[in-house]
Chains A and B, each alone.
Chain A
Amino acid sequence: AQSVTQLGSHVSVSEGALVLLRCNYSSSVPPYLFWYVQYPNQGLQLLLKYTTGATLVKGINGFEAEFKKSETSFHLTKPSAHMSDAAEYFCAVRRGTGGFKTIFGAGTRLFVKA
């Protein structure tokens, strides 16, 4: 069975500081991995995804994530936080076959201090 663990339900950083949001997954088959962002009263927006190929994935708004199979991790980073990055972030995993059943982590709320 697939599962996703996001370490830290809340993360607080100062504006301009590094953002690091942690995600570990378990999957019996090679998964597809995703990071989504959710702003208040909105749906989810895809930041980036890993399906195959290069393990360092670049996404929108300066975010990137690295797929590390040996560590079963897919941590999200951004070199310099901006106030507009304050939101909730979800890591998700999906099997490579069999449709779109996506399993989400519990989410990490990012706070950015001025």
Chain B
Amino acid sequence: KAGVTQTPRYLIKTRGQQVTLSCSPISGHRSVSWYQQTPGQGLQFLFEYFSETQRNKGNFPGRFSGRQFSNSRSEMNVSTLELGDSALYLCASSSQASQETQYFGPGTRLLVL
């Protein structure tokens, strides 16, 4: 099976712009979660989607949003970018049951100038 893929892998944006990141989960996986990783804050949970519905949400401002499509692919969007949004954004997919393993993609590294 192909692993979790994330596109693009690297991205440079300027403050005030918006960005959309994409995640394709492992085939058959219906849950997709997003995490932000920064040197200062570590790994922080953004949100989780299951069958096109947001099931959990972390403590991030409304500028961070996401969605999931019927084929389980997910996108996250960050509007009005700030310098502090520079981070590695990781996507993880999993099957239905919550005790199952999350499989992580390689991440998208976003740099905001």
Contacts and interface: CB of A to CB of B under 8 A. Distances in A.
Chain B, interface size category, equals 20 to 34
A94 B98 contact: yes
A42 B104 CA distance: 9
Contacts of B44: 104
Contacts of B101: 46, 49
Interface residues of A, number: 27
Interface stretch (A12-20, A77-85, A95-103): A95-103
A89 to B, nearest CB: 12
Closest 7 CB pairs of A and B: A43-B104, A104-B43, A101-B56, A44-B104, A51-B99, A99-B55, A99-B56
Interface of B: 4, 31, 33, 35, 42-45, 48, 50, 55-56, 58, 90, 92, 94, 98-99, 101-107
